[in-house]
Structure 1
């Protein structure tokens, strides 16, 4: 097999390639030993020229017909260019010549997996395990097949076996993190990565995956600490800076986040995503001119960055330039018309401009996309209430409450609408519902209809809950 060869030096490889190309130019036949052929094949693979590499394997198999190494190389190259049927033919020729060689079954299993023939692929990979001393890649390939079938739970033990044999297997580390994430087993992931780090404390990939798990669980302080370890081990790993910035944002530490985002520029060119993230930090700090500057830099790099177009709109909206903001909200919606936040801001701007029909359409879109957005239901219903369309406002709020039955805010707003419509008994029942859900928020009623502060029945009911 290939592992038995002593590879050529770079100089020897150069000589072999030159001699081979001379043979092709002269339409001649030169003899090459196995080592030389391997060097020539590797040369064309390194040049990302699979067709030339395939041609070399054809010459190699004609000169060394009983050497399975060249047939397996041929199979792998054919698979890389999606010629799976030809790849299977090549690997089966190798199988006839050397039926006890584990690499044959590993490559055959991998190709069958690419064809979606999972049962045959698993059979061959398990046969490879029986005939190979190098098992980590086989375990990893089995895990990959299981993942491709959506069997992530079953993939985890094989990824663990891969890493138990080869704890430097970066792909396996990231794939096991993916499995823990998609299975919502983040706590298990944290336990695993902490144990892993105890055996390999300088694995930046393990620290990075641990940090990501903490972030997903909203344990942002612990995430930041773990990202700091990543940066300590591998200072140039820009993703750790970016993700640390995201954790800082979630803690409202916007100035620090900006510094960390900008640190990525030392190790890679600025990206549209990073400019957009910095813009959002300045937006949260209400430094709208600077925020807008970074959002514009973002869309200059990538016109498809919907969040940056939206951010420009938000900065203009904040400065009461509603008409201009709508232009940018439309650009964001053209790129992502299923984003409820974009529609909400667009609806709000239309409402502020008294373009009520447009606002109604947009609010309807918001609650359809995100029926759990309590503020959207409140604003949508308010649009009708303020036009004296009280029954329409009540109907919308009823729908909102059916989607959010424990939302006290909606119940308290309903109290105000029902009182305004003269439906006092129904209003009191919603008051009870709101007080049961969250008695502390009852002042919402008075913010909307201040005159209800003098209503003795309402005050008595509120006091009853307050005293309990």
Structure 2
């Protein structure tokens, strides 16, 4: 498919002459198609108000021009004035029946959520201009994308792919639709089809990197971002996202290099400094970590991640009261930050503030009730305080909500065993093993880390139950 401006090399000159006329520097007559081209230029370059002025002026000179009325209806849609667009289309029904008219009807119907009517109109457009079928299929796909109906968009883009498998613009849109529909393997397939034809597209390599990150295929993500940067060395976001992939791979020094390069590009960099700080934290360079967490807070004082990071550094250095101050600040700036409350629960426990610890764990549950981890952490707190009944009750209260989570039933089995409730311990253990037999070793490791709360004898009993 050929780009609009590749076929209209003199469009910029036409716009220049039009703007000279507006300023009174020269005079030139513009016919209907000149005005349409000028308006299209402004629309393509995101200057909608100028495009609207062009069409208004053009309709004064050419009041009966169908092409101008089509463009006016298109702009009504872009401005969200769908009723005006529908009214105008209704006026044109008596005199118009070409492909462009039905394409416009379909586009207006998509904007109003009338997808069956839209499909009918689009099919009529294709019937009336089969010679330009490929272009129409592409434009229809884009119309559905514009209203986030990616399944419908994909139907048209895929039809075009079957008829024209090497159309690069369409291959990109097929891949993009699959990406939006979370069918990521298909998206990768079509981005790679694009690269088989045109391997030097930084945009496609970058999108592949994003998908690989989402799939936690971090090695592949790094490779994709490397290609992006080889083609376009100043692709700022590629440095940032490559840093994220390297961080998840545990390559903190390499991630740090990427984040530091990203600092050279425009951004407020509060998050960038936070990620840099976390790399230093993981590397044990706490002074540098604190420096960058504070840089992040100087840009955004309400950045809870940075306050949390300062709290973690203080905790790692054994400064418990300082850690609590930072964590409390993080909680104050973001009341939904459940991980922060979990850390506060642990910190309060270290200074024997059990009531505060319980409240912190309960706040974590309120902030993220669907996170099993939060419920288990509260149960572990009660276990460490030798309150087995309370620990068990915390988890039994949510077992219906997490009936497919093996970890929950492993811990219920342990707490039942510690209360000498052998029948329930066996039942819970059987249920846990049926979901995921492999997590048993993690439970045993927890028990061994928490002797004498779990005695050697109880660990042996647990192992026997597992046999």
Q: After TM superposition, is the score higher than 0.5?
A: yes
Change (3 A) 1:176 1:201: same
Equivalent-residue separation in structure 1 for 2:321 and 2:354 (angstroms): 14
**Aligned residue for 1:120?**
117
How far the C-alpha of 1:252 sits from its partner, in A, is 0.5
Equivalent-residue separation in structure 2 for 1:191 and 1:174 (angstroms): 8
- Conserved 8 A contact 1:313-1:325: yes
- Conserved 8 A contact 2:141-2:154: yes
Select the residue among 287, 294, 297 that pairs with 2:295.
Answer: 297
The 3-state SS of whatever aligns with 1:450 is coil
Show the 5 A alignment for 1:38-437: 38=36, 41=39, 50=48, 53-93=51-91, 96-100=94-98, 102-132=99-129, 133-135=131-133, 138-140=136-138, 142-143=140-141, 152-161=150-159, 164=165, 166-168=167-169, 172=173, 175-181=176-182, 185-269=183-267, 271-303=269-301, 305-367=303-365, 369-370=368-369, 372-374=371-373, 376-387=374-385, 389-399=387-397, 403=402, 404-406=405-407, 410-411=411-412, 413-414=414-415, 417-418=418-419, 423=420, 425=422, 429=426, 437=437
Question: What 5-or-longer segments of structure 2 have no aligned partner?
Answer: none
Select the residue among 446, 449, 465 that pairs with 1:447.
Answer: 449
Deviation per CA, 1:329-358, whole angstroms, max 9, x where unpaired? 344444543333222123223333333222
How far the C-alpha of 1:255 sits from its partner, in A, is 0.7
- Conserved 8 A contact 1:340-1:370: no
TM-score normalised according to structure 2 size: 0.78
Equivalent-residue separation in structure 2 for 1:16 and 1:454 (angstroms): 89
Change (3 A) 1:30 1:168: closer
Give the alignment's Cα RMSD to 1 decimal: 4.0
How far the C-alpha of 1:323 sits from its partner, in A, is 3.6
- Conserved 8 A contact 2:246-2:252: yes
Aligned length: 449
Of 356-365 and 130-139, deviating more is 130-139
Deviation per CA, 1:66-98, whole angstroms, max 9, x where unpaired? 432221222223333222222334445555444
Question: What 5-or-longer segments of structure 1 have no aligned partner?
Answer: 24-28
TM-score normalised according to structure 1 size: 0.78
Equivalent-residue separation in structure 1 for 2:440 and 2:51 (angstroms): 74
Change (3 A) 1:148 1:367: farther
How far the C-alpha of 1:220 sits from its partner, in A, is 2.0
- Conserved 8 A contact 1:416-1:445: no
Equivalent-residue separation in structure 2 for 1:77 and 1:99 (angstroms): 20
How far the C-alpha of 1:290 sits from its partner, in A, is 1.8
